[in-house]
C-alpha cells in the first residue's frame, strides 16, 4: 500500500491517535512518536508554510497544525503538568495540603527583604537575627544558610517569622520565574536619608506583581538628614499609604545600626500577615517545600537549605529535591544546632542528598528511598531531553488575540522602561486610558528609568508580561535572556506609535507584517511535455537559488501572468534535488500549463518584518 503524500512527501497518516508532546518539543520528537523520518515532517511543515529545522523547538500551535494535517490528536504538555503526572504515577500530589480545613494549622509568615542598594537590607537582616527576643542558646556557630527564623512577642504571644536571608529582588524574581512561590510578605527597606530610588520602585513592582503584602521599613533614622515623613509621602504615589495617613500599609521607622524599631517592625509583619493573609498548612503529612539555596560542602557533601511549606520534615525521611534525592541524614538550623523535625515555614539545612539541587527546586518526602531515586532519575532524564527545547511560548502582542479568544487571558501585563521618568509616566498614563471595552484589561506591573535589565526580563517571565522599551535598549544579557525565554520586547521612540500598537493588540488587530523576499529567478529556455505531469520548464537559474516547494510566480515580458504558484518539482538532469543555484540548468514543474520559452520564474518567501 502506498502512503499518501503531502506536498510531494509521503508520510503515513494517523487515525486520530492521541500524541502527547512536551511543550517546546521539536519535529524530531514528533517524528519519533509516530515513527517517521524527521526530515519528512520538516517538509510537510514547509508545505504548510512554516520553515523550521528538525531539532528546533516549535510552539504549541505548530505542533497542533502538524498533528491536524497528519490526522493525529496532538496534546501539548507543560513541564509543570509533566512533573505533576510523574508524581501522580507515584501517587503523590505536590503543592496541596492533604486533608481538609480541620487539618490546617497556622504557620509563620515567610518574609523577603527588598529595597534599593545600600539602603540597609543586609544590615537589617543581620540586626533582626541578633535582636531575636528569644535568643538562641549559646554554643551554635552563626552561619549563613539562606533563611532563618526569629520569634517576636506580639500581644504577649510568641510568634515566629521566617526570613529569606538573600536580600534583593533578583533572588525573589528568579524563584518566581521558576514557579516557586516562597514569599508571603515583603519588607521594603527605604533609607530615610535617601528616599525612594529606582530599585525601591522596582522591588515594589515585583512585590505587587506577586500580589504579596508590603511592610515598609524606613531605615537609617539614626542618620542626620533622615526624613521619614518624606519617604511616606513619596510612597503614596506608588499606592502605599501609611496607616497614620489613612491608608493600610504599615510603615516602621528603624535603624539597622542601633537596633531601634526592630521589635516594632516584627510586630508590623505579624499584624499585616494576620490582617491580610490566611497562613495555614497541614503539619501532619509528608513534608513538601522548596530549596532556597544549596552547595557542595567538602566534608559533608551536598548541603541544601530547604523551606518546609507543608507537612513536617524528619531526620531519616526519604526525600527528592529536583533531580537530587536521598535520606535526611541530619538537619541543622541557622545556628548550626541539630534539629529533629521541621514543621511548616521552618527553614533547615539538610544533609544526605546525592546531588546539589538548584535554588527554587521543589522537595518532597516519599515513602522509601527507591521511590525517591526513581522520581529523581525520571526528572533527570526528562531534563536532559528538554534541554534543547527550553523555550516556553510566552505572550506576544501578536498572539494576544488568540489568547484572549481562548479565554486564557483577559489582561495584558506590561513593563515599561524609558529614558526619563517623564516619558515613562506619560506613556503609562496614555496606555491606561486606552479603552477597548470591559473584556480586556491592561495592567502595568513594572516601570522604571534606564535600560531593560535581566531583572525586568525575569519579571516578565514570572508574570507573562510584555516589555515596552521607550528610547531604551536591553543591557547586558537581558536581550539574550528575553530571546531564550521568548519574552516580547517592543521598542518605541514615539508615544503615539506605542499607543497605537497596544490598542491594536488589545483590539486583536495586530497582525504580524510580512514582506516578500526574492529567493531566485530562472529563465525558461525549453518546454517539455511530460505525460501525466504536464508541462515542465527547462530553465537556467539567473539569480539566487531555486528551492523546491518555494512560492513562485511566472513573469512574461515584465508582467506577472500567474501568481501563487510553487516549485512543485525540481530536477537536475534526472535527479530530484532540493535546490539549484545561479548559473545551473534545471527542470522545474510549476503545475501550470501555460509556460513559454523566455518566461521568467521568480521564487520568493514571505518573511516577518521586524517592527520599527
User: Which set of grid coordinates corresponds to residue 300?
Assistant: 559533608
588 in Cβ contact with 602 (< 8 Å): no
- Binding residues for ligand GDP, total number by CB under 6 A: 16
Instruction: List CB contacts of 608: < 8 A, sequence separation 6 or more.
Output: 512, 513, 514
Torsion of CA 176, 400, 18, 30, to 10 degrees: -80
The one among 18, 98, 117, 275 contacting ligand GDP by CB under 6 A: 117
Nearest distance, CB of residue 214 and ligand GDP, angstroms = 16
When asked if residue 197 is in the footprint of ligand GDP (CB under 6 A), the reply is: no
Cβ neighbours of residue 21 under 8 Å, at least 6 residues apart? 29, 30, 33, 63, 74, 75, 76, 77
Residue 148: C-alpha distances to residues 110, 267, 288, 307, 329 (Å) = 10, 17, 18, 10, 20
| Smallest distance, ligand GDP to C-beta of residue 503, A | 40
Give how far the C-alpha of residue 420 lies from the chain's centroid of Cα atoms, to the nearest Å: 28
Q: For residue 313, which of 281, 278, 280, 288 has the smallest C-alpha distance? A: 288
199 binds ligand GDP (CB under 6 A): no
Q: Are 269 and 230 in contact (CB under 8 A)?
A: no
Site string for ligand GDP, 161-180 (x = CB under 6 A): ------x-------------
Query: Is residue 121 at the binding interface for ligand GDP, with CB under 6 A as the rule?
Result: yes
Q: Which is nearer to ligand GDP, 122 or 543 (CB)?
A: 122
Return the residue matching grid coordinates 529545522: 53
Helices (H) and strands (E) in the chain, counts: 15, 33
Q: Does 447 bind ligand GDP (CB under 6 A)?
A: no
Among 173, 182, 255, 603, binds ligand GDP (CB under 6 A): 255
Q: Is 494 in the site for ligand GDP (CB under 6 A)?
A: no
* Identity of the residue, 112 or 219, whose beta carbon is nearer to ligand GDP in the bound complex: 219
Q: Does 227 bind ligand GDP (CB under 6 A)?
A: no
Q: Which is nearer to ligand GDP, 184 or 194 (CB)?
A: 194
Choices 93-101, 146-154, 217-225, 295-303; region in contact with ligand GDP by CB under 6 A? 217-225
Closer to ligand GDP by CB, 165 or 599: give it. 165
406-409 long-range contacts, CB within 8 A, separation 24+ = 409/464
Answer for which of 32, 105, 118, 429 binds ligand GDP (CB under 6 A) is 118
Q: Which stretch binds ligand GDP (CB under 6 A): 94-102, 133-141, 254-262, 372-380?
A: 254-262
With CB under 6 A as the contact rule, the residue among 111, 196, 256, 365 that binds ligand GDP is: 256
Which C-beta is closer to ligand GDP: that of 28 or that of 255? 255
Exactly one of 57, 200, 201, 219 binds ligand GDP (CB under 6 A); that residue is 219
Q: Cβ closer to ligand GDP: 192 or 466? A: 192
Q: Report, in Å, the least distance between residue 475 CB and ligand GDP.
A: 20
CA dist 235 and 244 (Å) reads: 13
Phi/psi for 19 (5° steps) reads: -115, 120
Q: Does 20 bind ligand GDP (CB under 6 A)?
A: no
Q: Which stretch binds ligand GDP (CB under 6 A): 175-183, 216-224, 326-334, 364-372?
A: 216-224
State which residue, 234 or 566, has the beta carbon closest to ligand GDP. 234
User: Interhelix angle for 60-70 vs 38-47, to 10°?
Assistant: 90
Helix (H, G, I), strand (E, B) or coil at 188: strand
Regarding 123 and contact with ligand GDP (CB under 6 A), the answer is yes
Q: CA 390 to CA 57: how far, in whole Å?
A: 8
Report d(CA 197, CA 192) in Å as an integer. 11
Q: Which residues have a Cβ under 8 Å from the Cβ of 240 and sit 6 or more positions away?
A: 188, 204, 214, 216, 247, 249
Q: Which residue's CB atom is positioned nearest to ligand GDP?
A: 120
Instruction: Tell the smallest beta-carbon distance from residue 141 to ligand GDP (Å).
Output: 22
Q: Which positions lie near ligand GDP, rule CB under 6 A?
A: 115, 117-123, 167, 219-220, 222-223, 255-257
Amino acid at each position: 500500500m502506498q502512503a499518501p503524500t503531502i506536498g510531494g512527501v509521503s508520510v503515513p497518516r494517523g487515525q486520530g491517535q492521541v500524541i502527547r508532546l512536551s511543550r517546546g518539543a521539536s519535529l524530531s520528537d514528533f517524528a519519533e512518536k509516530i515513527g517517521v523520518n524527521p526530515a519528512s515532517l520538516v517538509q510537510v511543515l514547509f508545505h504548510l508554510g512554516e520553515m523550521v529545522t528538525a531539532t528546533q523547538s516549535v510552539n504549541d500551535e505548530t505542533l497542533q497544525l502538524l498533528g491536524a494535517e497528519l490526522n493525529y490528536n496532538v496534546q501539548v504538555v507543560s513541564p509543570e503538568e509533566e512533573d505533576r503526572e510523574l508524581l501522580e504515577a507515584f501517587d503523590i500530589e505536590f503543592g496541596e495540603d492533604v486533608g481538609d480545613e480541620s487539618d490546617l494549622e497556622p504557620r509563620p509568615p515567610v518574609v523577603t527583604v527588598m529595597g534599593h542598594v545600600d539602603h540597609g537590607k543586609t544590615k537589617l537582616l543581620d540586626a533582626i537575627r541578633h535582636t531575636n527576643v528569644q535568643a538562641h542558646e549559646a554554643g551554635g556557630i552563626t552561619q549563613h544558610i539562606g533563611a532563618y527564623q526569629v520569634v517576636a512577642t506580639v500581644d504577649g504571644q510568641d510568634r515566629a517569622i521566617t526570613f529569606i536571608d538573600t536580600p534583593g529582588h533578583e533572588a525573589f524574581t528568579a524563584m518566581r520565574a521558576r514557579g516557586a512561590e516562597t514569599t508571603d510578605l515583603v519588607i521594603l527597606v527605604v533609607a530615610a536619608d535617601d528616599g525612594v530610588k529606582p530599585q525601591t520602585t522596582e522591588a515594589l513592582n515585583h512585590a505587587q506583581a506577586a500580589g504579596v503584602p508590603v511592610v515598609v521599613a524606613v531605615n537609617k533614622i539614626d542618620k542626620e538628614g533622615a526624613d521619614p515623613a518624606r519617604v511616606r509621602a513619596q510612597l503614596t504615589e506608588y499606592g502605599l499609604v501609611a496607616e497614620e495617613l489613612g491608608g493600610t500599609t504599615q510603615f516602621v521607622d528603624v535603624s539597622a545600626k542601633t537596633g531601634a524599631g526592630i521589635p516594632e517592625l516584627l510586630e508590623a509583619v505579624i499584624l499585616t500577615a494576620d490582617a491580610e493573609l490566611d497562613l495555614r498548612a497541614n503539619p501532619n503529612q509528608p513534608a513538601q517545600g522548596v530549596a532556597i539555596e544549596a552547595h557542595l560542602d567538602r566534608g559533608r557533601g551536598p548541603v541544601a537549605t530547604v523551606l518546609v511549606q507543608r507537612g513536617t520534615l524528619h531526620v531519616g525521611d526519604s526525600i527528592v529535591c529536583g533531580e537530587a534525592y536521598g535520606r535526611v541524614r541530619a538537619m541543622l538550623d541557622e545556628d548550626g544546632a541539630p534539629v529533629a523535625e521541621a514543621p511548616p515555614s521552618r527553614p533547615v539545612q539538610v544533609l544526605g542528598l546525592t546531588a546539589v539541587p538548584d535554588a527554587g527546586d521543589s522537595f518532597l518526602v516519599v515513602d522509601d528511598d527507591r521511590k525517591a531515586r526513581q522520581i529523581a532519575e525520571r526528572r533527570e532524564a526528562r531534563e536532559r531531553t528538554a534541554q534543547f527545547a527550553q523555550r516556553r511560548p510566552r505572550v506576544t502582542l501578536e498572539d494576544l488575540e488568540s489568547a484572549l479568544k481562548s479565554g486564557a487571558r483577559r489582561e495584558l501585563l506590561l513593563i515599561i522602561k524609558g529614558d526619563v521618568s517623564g516619558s515613562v509616566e506619560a506613556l503609562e498614563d496614555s496606555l491606561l486610558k486606552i479603552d477597548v471595552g470591559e473584556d480586556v484589561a491592561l495592567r502595568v506591573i513594572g516601570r522604571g528609568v534606564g535600560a531593560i535589565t535581566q531583572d525586568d526580563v525575569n519579571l516578565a517571565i514570572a508574570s507573562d508580561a510584555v516589555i515596552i522599551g521607550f528610547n531604551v535598549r536591553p543591557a547586558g544579557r537581558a536581550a539574550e535572556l528575553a530571546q531564550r525565554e521568548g519574552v516580547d520586547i517592543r521598542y518605541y521612540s514615539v508615544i503615539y506609535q506605542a499607543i497605537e500598537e497596544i490598542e491594536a493588540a488589545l483590539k486583536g488587530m495586530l497582525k504580524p507584517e510580512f514582506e516578500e523576499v526574492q529567493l531566485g529567478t530562472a529563465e525558461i529556455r525549453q518546454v517539455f511535455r511530460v505525460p501525466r505531469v504536464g508541462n515542465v520548464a527547462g530553465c537556467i537559474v539567473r539569480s539566487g537559488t531555486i528551492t523546491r516547494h518555494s512560492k513562485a510566480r511566472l513573469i512574461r515580458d515584465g508582467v506577472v501572468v500567474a501568481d501563487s504558484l510553487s516549485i512543485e518539482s525540481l530536477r537536475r538532469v534526472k535527479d530530484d534535488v532540493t535546490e539549484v543555484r545561479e548559473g545551473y540548468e534545471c527542470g522545474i514543474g510549476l503545475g501550470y500549463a501555460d509556460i513559454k520559452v523566455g518566461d521568467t520564474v521568480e521564487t520568493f518567501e514571505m518573511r516577518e518584518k521586524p517592527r520599527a
